[in-house]
Structure 1
């Protein structure tokens, strides 16, 4: 395993292009596939790309704000002190890996946006205090991103009355999908495998340590009040941002009281914003941290529209339908959930939106499941796991974490390619066993 992983790491570092260049290359690969497979003209593909280009503007802004508000919160003095105390429980690289994996996995399970920032922040703090190869612990923090938990959109949609497939599929409760006994066992198995895989990795002789550049934010030279202009005194006062933070917190409390606890990207952003405003000393400290976070989020800003264009070509040209139909033609009732998992994983690499992928591919796969007599709940979860599985080798989803960590995709993808294979065998094997059990 060590030799295979070392080979993978070396190959990725040597040949994997930057995340931005990969998005450019994928754009032209999909364009050529549309021309060659579905018979579209290059001008048609350009039109589909342009129509899709702006489709992820809202989602892209949400991701930037998740990174920004989470990063700023992590740089507040109180959170730095808390993380410092927390990481004291890990004095060796193996302890740091286990603690980082378990905490980030649980956070991902609760909500992938929260897990993304929490895992990256924890990896950074471990990197500051433990002599560990930093790309290794960042990869470990990202490995849990594939877990499908309470915030997984597809099973939640199917369990909601009035969803767009209710007439043909009906309502399938989450007790048969997310909270089925086999899915819970699979989730725990993946956690055990993730911990085991990264504990088997030996650190290279020349480890890469975290190059921390956040100290200047916390070590702000105090100014004497008598030397400050009125505007300076206001900027260094805690009250303006504290009051704004309390306003945001009051809104969140009111929403929970009247509408219940509903975690989504918007509530995570507001939660991080409220805590960051409350815990930073003043607006100067907050805006310095925000400036650094914006730099870390540059990859999201540039690349999200490119992937939206790729998704536009995949859907507009009919490539998604072609892939789905190819799977259906060779499927049997026993193999259909496994093939659904693999098909969803392939398409997910090009369409970085679970909800968008389900809206296009879901009806095709569920109609086929009905015709073959395959279990609909297992098919839904196979699709859901496939939608998350190939995120491990898709730099698009790692951008927020990489931005916080200050690494590139090639630094961690060598480890994640091997983890993709291990997790794929575990997930795919689960659906094979379920099919055999009838």
Structure 2
């Protein structure tokens, strides 16, 4: 295992381009496929790309704010003390890896946005305080991203009355999908495999440590109060951040009382914003931390629109439909969930948005499942797991983590390729067992 991992790491570090260049390469591949397979003209493909380019503006802004507000919160004094206390529970590299895996996996299970920020910040803090190979601890924080938990959009949509496919497949309760015995067992098994995989890894002879800024992590700067202007006094006073923090917290409290608490991206952003404002001492401290967070978010800002353009070409040129129908053409009731998993994973590499991919590919797969007599709940979860599986090697979802960690995709992708194979075998084995034993 160690030899295979080392080989994968060396190959990836040597040949994998940056995440931005990879997005450009995927754009070029889909552009050519649209002409060669879809029969589209170059003008049409350019039009499809342009139409899709802006489709992720809202989601991209949400992701930027999740990263920014979470990062800023992590740089407050109370959160630094909390993280320090947590990292002190790990005295060796292996202990640091296990703790990071378990905490980030649980956070990802609850909500992928929360897990993304929590895992990245925990990995960074572990890198500061434990002599561990930093890319390895970052991979440990990201490895649990594939887990499908209560915030997984596809099973939740299918369990909701009046969803857009209800006439075709009815309502499939989450007890048959997310909370089925086999799915919970698969989730626990993947956590065990993830821990085992990292326990088998050895620290390289020359470890890479986290590069820490020379300035104070909390962004505090000495202020000469004797020469402060009125504007300086306002920027270094407590009341602006306290007011805005209480305003955001009050809104959240009223919403919970009226509607109950539900976790989504907007809720996460507001929670992080309120806590960050309340825990930073003044606007100057908050904005100084935000400067670092914006630098970490540059990959999201630049590259999300490129993937939206790719999705636009894949959809409008009919490539997703052609690929799905090709898979269906040789499927049987026994193999259909497995092929659904593999096809969802393949398409996800080009359309890394679960909801968007389901809207395009889902109706085709579910119509085929009904025609073949395949289990609809298993088909839905096969699609859901496939959508998450190839996130491991899709830089789109790793960009926030890489931004916080200050690493490039090639630093972590060698490990993730091997984890992709291990997790894929576990998931495939589960669906094969379901097909054989029912």
TM-score w.r.t. the length of structure 2 is 0.99
Asked whether the equivalents of residues 219 and 285 of structure 2 are also in contact (C-alpha less than 8 Å), the reply is no
Root mean square deviation, CA, Å: 0.9
Shift of 1:216: 2.8
Shift of 1:221: 3.8
Asked whether the equivalents of residues 66 and 113 of structure 2 are also in contact (C-alpha less than 8 Å), the reply is yes
- Structure-1 separation of matches of 2:225 and 2:312: 56
Shift of 1:361: 0.3
Shift of 1:217: 4.5
How many residues align structurally?
Answer: 438
Q: Deviations over 1:371-405 (max 9, x none)?
A: 00000000000000000000000001000000011
What is the match of residue 284 of structure 1?
284
What is the match of residue 22 of structure 2?
22
What is the match of residue 354 of structure 1?
354
Query: Which is worse superposed, 178-187 or 235-244?
Result: 235-244
Runs of 4+ in 1 over 3 A off after TM superposition: none
What is the match of residue 149 of structure 2?
149
SS at match of 2:216: helix
Shift of 1:215: 3.9
- Structure-2 separation of matches of 1:24 and 1:222: 44
What is the match of residue 162 of structure 2?
162
Name stretches of at least 5 consecutive residues in structure 1 with no aligned partner.
Answer: none
Name stretches of at least 5 consecutive residues in structure 2 with no aligned partner.
Answer: none
Distance 1:267 1:219, change over 3 A: closer
Asked whether the equivalents of residues 217 and 288 of structure 1 are also in contact (C-alpha less than 8 Å), the reply is no
What is the match of residue 371 of structure 1?
371
Shift of 1:219: 6.0
Paired residues for 1:135-214 under 5 Å? 135-213=135-213
- Structure-2 separation of matches of 1:221 and 1:21: 37
Query: Which is worse superposed, 34-43 or 297-306?
Result: 34-43
Asked whether the equivalents of residues 148 and 388 of structure 2 are also in contact (C-alpha less than 8 Å), the reply is yes
Q: Deviations over 1:274-298 (max 9, x none)?
A: 0000001111110011011101110
What is the match of residue 228 of structure 1?
228
- Structure-1 separation of matches of 2:63 and 2:256: 23
Distance 1:20 1:415, change over 3 A: same
What is the match of residue 425 of structure 2?
425
Paired residues for 1:35-74 under 5 Å? 35-74=35-74
Shift of 1:225: 3.0
Asked whether the equivalents of residues 217 and 285 of structure 1 are also in contact (C-alpha less than 8 Å), the reply is no
